[in-house]
Amino acid sequence: MSEKGLTTISLKKINRSKVYQYIYKARQTSKMQIVQDLQMGLSTVSQNLNLLEQEGLIDRSEYLESTGGRKAQAIQIVSDFRISIGIGILKNMFHITAVDLYGNAFYTDTIQQPYSNTEEYYKKLTDKIREFIAEHPYPEEKILGISIATQGITSLDNSTVIYGSILNNTGMRVENFSRYLPYPCHLEHDSKSAAFLELWNHQELDSAVVFLLNRNLGGAVITDHKIHQGRSMHSGTIEHMCTDPEGPLCYCGNHGCLETYCSANSLEQSAGMPVKEFFPLLREKKSPRLTSLWEDYLKHLAFAMRNLNLIVDAPIIISGYLAPYFTEEDINQLLEHINSSSPFPIGRSQILVGTHGQYTPAIGAALFYVDQFIRSV
């Protein structure tokens, strides 16, 4: 093929991608708006819109509100043209979700299944994934892949868990799942998956520190709009920040890690009740013991936030299982604790709160394949 031919094909692909990306970001637009903003010829835009519609990638069945003349066609992507499945593995259960091309989780479920690093476990889990897919009205060809968030630090190529003390899953491999599933599979540290979701939801942020307040604590650092991995992939493991060398024993073998004070498990252990019972009773403000316990929790959390803010001067995102339970009063208490001991006070706008609760890692994991697809069109 001639150089000119290659250039023509490349240009067509670039134009097609530009038009689709524009529609994706705009969510809903018109043909003339695309022409104007992309400074692309009307015929070129029309050709690409026809092609994208034929492929099923966009929809033009609706109309925009009239501004005085003829109503323009409303152009938007078909958000369920492809879907991605996300899994979040915990000690006694796993979460499963399906998301569309905008990252909206339209199906979520929690399945009780104790983890064990055995073929029997992986076979049972993948069988459940197949059942989940079969129960919902989406053909298999729409599924981009299965992305698994696990409690454990993964290798640089995301093929293997290289540190998995919580689940005892060191050595878990992506092949443990892919051998039983007819879809691409991806393995990721749950904290990094959670951070990816928060970054997806806060595109305006260049940097941030994520506190994943799950059953076990986790975290991540975002710099230059990317999740910082570190040389050994353990960047952001705030759960092992030592707050008291004489404190409680952590699963890592050391004492006084933030994990022992600020994980959901540690909160439940101190309260003597499940989280879903603790917070309603706390909000009644009738138990001095629960109030004191929560204040102590917030002090430890603020201690870590204050120290990390001195290293990474960026917004703080509270994410995961406990995040939806935080009230404005709780945020103000955190700010008081942080600012009372820091030479560089932070404002209310510097603390953000996630909204996806316990499904955060699973949804974030699913976004891996969504992001790949959007970039590839």
> Residues near 345 by Cβ (< 8 Å), separated by ≥ 6?
338, 339
Q: Which domains does the chain have, with CATH numbers?
A: 3-77 (1.10.10.10), 83-194+362-376 (3.30.420.40), 203-359 (3.30.420.40)
133 token code pair: 């897919």
Q: Are 34 and 52 in contact (CB under 8 A)?
A: no
- Four-residue CA torsion sign, 330, 217, 258, 226: negative
Cα-to-chain-centroid distance, residue 83: 15
CA distance 75 to 299: 50
Look at phi and psi of residue 115 and say left if phi exceeds 0, alpha if psi is from -120 to 50, else beta. Answer: beta
pLDDT at residue 5, rounded to an integer:
57
Distance of alpha carbon 198 from alpha carbon 200, whole angstroms = 5
Question: How far is Cα 326 from Cα 214, in angstroms, rounded to an integer?
Answer: 13
- Among residues 233, 235, 149, the alpha carbon closest in space to that of 190 is found at 149
Burial string for 217-247 (b: 16+ CB within 10 Å, else e) reads bbbbbbeeeebbbeeebebbbbbbbebeeeb
Angstrom distance (rounded) from CA 208 to CA 219: 11
CA distances from 53 to 17, 121, 144, 267, 269 (A): 13, 43, 20, 52, 55
pLDDT at 3: 45
Q: Are the C-beta atoms of 186 and 362 separated by less than 8 Å?
A: no
Q: What is the pLDDT of residue 136?
A: 85
Beta sheet of 226-227, edge-to-edge order: 226-227, 217-223, 208-213, 316-319, 351-353
**Share of the chain residues as helix, strand and coil, in percent rounded to the nearest 5:** 45, 20, 35
Q: How many CB atoms lie within 10 A of CB 27?
A: 11
**E strand or H helix that includes residue 53:** helix 42-54
- pTM of the complete model: 0.94
Given a contact cutoff of 8 angstroms between Cβ atoms, the answer to whether 38 and 26 are in contact is no
Report which of 144, 143, 165, 141 is spatially closest to residue 153, judged by C-alpha positions: 165
State the CB neighbour count (10 A cutoff) for residue 261.
24
pLDDT at residue number 138: 79
At 338 the three-state DSSP class reads helix
pLDDT at 6: 59
Beta bridge mates, 220: 210
**pLDDT one digit per residue (tens) for the chain, 377 residues:** 444 555 777 889 999 999 999 999 999 999 999 999 999 999 999 999 999 999 999 999 989 987 767 888 999 999 999 999 999 999 999 999 999 999 999 999 999 999 999 999 999 999 999 999 999 877 888 999 999 999 999 999 999 999 999 999 999 999 999 999 999 999 999 999 999 999 999 999 999 999 999 999 999 999 999 999 999 999 999 999 999 999 999 999 999 999 999 999 999 999 999 999 999 999 999 999 999 999 999 999 999 999 999 999 999 999 999 999 999 999 999 999 999 999 999 999 999 999 999 999 999 999 999 999 999 99
